[in-house]
Amino acid sequence: MIFGLNTTSLQSIAYCKAKMEVFLGALVVHMEIICHQLFEIFSDASLRIGMEI
């Protein structure tokens, strides 16, 4: 036992940490895709009206 945590608790914490890392990684990827798409939408719109961003 380390600081009152048994092996099962430590494994559970490690599992939750791994799941959170996967979730956050997927979230970052999706945010990058959305930002890229928004940039393209606004770039196209600005070209149509003659503005630059």
| pLDDT digits 0-9 by tens, 4-43 | 667 788 889 899 999 999 999 999 999 999 999 999 988 8
**pLDDT number for residue 1:** 47
Residue 50 φ/ψ region, left for φ over 0, alpha for ψ in the -120 to 50 degree band, beta for the rest: left
Q: What is the band of 2 on the pLDDT scale with cuts at 50, 70, 90?
A: low
This prediction's pTM:
0.62
**pLDDT number for residue 33:** 97
Rounded to whole angstroms, the Cα distance separating 9 from 15 reads 10
**pLDDT number for residue 9:** 83
Rounded to whole angstroms, the Cα distance separating 34 from 41 reads 10
Rounded to whole angstroms, the Cα distance separating 49 from 43 reads 10
Enumerate the domain spans of the chain: 21-53
Question: Is 70 exceeded by the pLDDT of residue 51?
Answer: no
